[in-house]
Structure 1
Amino acid sequence: MENEFGVLLKQIREQKGLTINQLAEAAGISNSQISRMENGLRGIPKAPTIRKLADALDASYGEFMSAAGYLEGTDGMDAAEQLPAWATSKDKRDFKKMLEEDGELMFDGIPLDQEDKQRIKDVLTGLFWEAKHMNKRKKKHNENPDGR
């Protein structure tokens, strides 16, 4: 999985018939940054950058997040297995699905339209997977405090 993200990025970009410069312009990311990602010369980008690339390529954000390693670390457990024992059925509701549903949602008494819901979902998705990635790093560091 050394450069799985870069390989996937290049593969999808080429399938779409885009040059690095075209993707850079569409995503609002420098062409040198994209080139370094594709060639494994840059670390894994943050979730907001992955979102820009997925949107520009009209590709699966989840597939990119998985290739980047953000969706790892659940040790094969599904979401229900990760919930605490005290969680009720209301606690177990998937917030992402709630944002995707057509029902009315409000924040501070103001109704959210579809654009609001999508923006909230995008921001929360990025923050959530970034936090999961950071927690995974902390666990590895705590298991091997001398860096080995």
Structure 2
Amino acid sequence: MEQSSFGLYLKHMREQKKWSINQLADAAGISTSQISRIENGKRGVPKPQTIEKMAGALGISYAEMMDHAGYLRPEEHPPIPEWASSRDKRDFKKMLEEDGELMFDGVPLDEEDRQRIKDVLTGLFWEAKHMNKRKPVTPAPKERRGS
């Protein structure tokens, strides 16, 4: 499998510090196999929490590493609708941050395809939430009492 640009970036930053994969894994508190898979392109871009650990261990700014990972900057995210409740926002955040590998026919999707899917899911998520909020609440049928 082809190395991702983030994988190459991570490897470059690790080697610049003259660290082995084991040293980065120990410092960041993540597995050596996960770092190896990222660097070799066998795993997609990790979730933000993992990037934060690696950035801290390598002494790199979190924002810089997130930028190399291709995550949208906060100002680039589609706006959260005004009607969204705190629960809606929590659900949305959970949906985007789950660390499942997106695959098609058993092949992991590249970052560009993953971002397209996230963009579509974002639109569908807010549309579904909005439609759900507009549905009128149907009162329960009243019981009939005999006269």
Residues 1:135 and 1:27: Cα distance change in structure 2 (over 3 Å): same
Which residue is equivalent to 2:53? 52
The 5 A counterparts of 1:106-117 are none
How many aligned positions are there? Answer: 94
3-state secondary structure, aligned to 1:40: coil
After TM superposition, the structure 1 = structure 2 runs for residues 127-142 of structure 1, keeping only pairs within 5 Å, are: 130=96, 137-140=117-120
Query: Aligned partners of 2:9, 2:55: CA distance in 1, in Å?
Result: 11
Give 2:119's aligned amino acid.
K
Structure label with greater radius of gyration: 2
Give the AA of the match of 2:20.
Answer: T
TM-score by length of 1: 0.51
Cα distance change of structure 1 residues 137 and 25 upon mapping to structure 2, 3 Å threshold:
same
Deviation at 1:142, TM superposition (A): 8.4
Matches of 1:42 and 1:140, distance apart in 2? 22
5+ residue gaps, structure 2, are: 83-92, 98-110, 124-147
**Is 1:74 aligned to residue 76 of structure 2?**
yes
User: What corresponds to 1:21 in structure 2?
Assistant: 22
Cα 1:135–1:68, aligned 2, differ >3 Å: closer, same or farther? Answer: closer
- Is 2:56 the partner of 1:62? no
Q: Which runs of 5+ in 1 are unaligned?
A: 76-81, 87-126, 144-148
Paired residue type of 1:74: E
* Structure 1 residue 40 corresponds to structure 2 residue 69: no
Structure 1 position 68, deviation (Å): 1.3
Q: Measure, in 2, the Cα distance between the counterparts of 1:142 and 1:64.
A: 23
Q: CA RMSD in A?
A: 3.6
Distance 1:142 1:49 in 2: 22
In 2 relative to 1, CA 41–135 (structure 1 residues): closer, same or farther, beyond 3 Å?
Answer: closer
> For 2:18 and 2:54, how far apart are their aligned partners in 1?
15
Following TM superposition, by how much is the alpha carbon of 1:141 offset from its aligned partner in structure 2, in angstroms?
Answer: 5.7
TM-score, with normalisation over the residues of structure 2?
A: 0.51
Corresponding letter in the other structure for 2:10: L
Q: Could you tell me how far apart the structure 2 residues matched to 1:135 and 1:39 are?
A: 20
Stretches of 4+ aligned residues off by more than 4 angstroms? 133-136
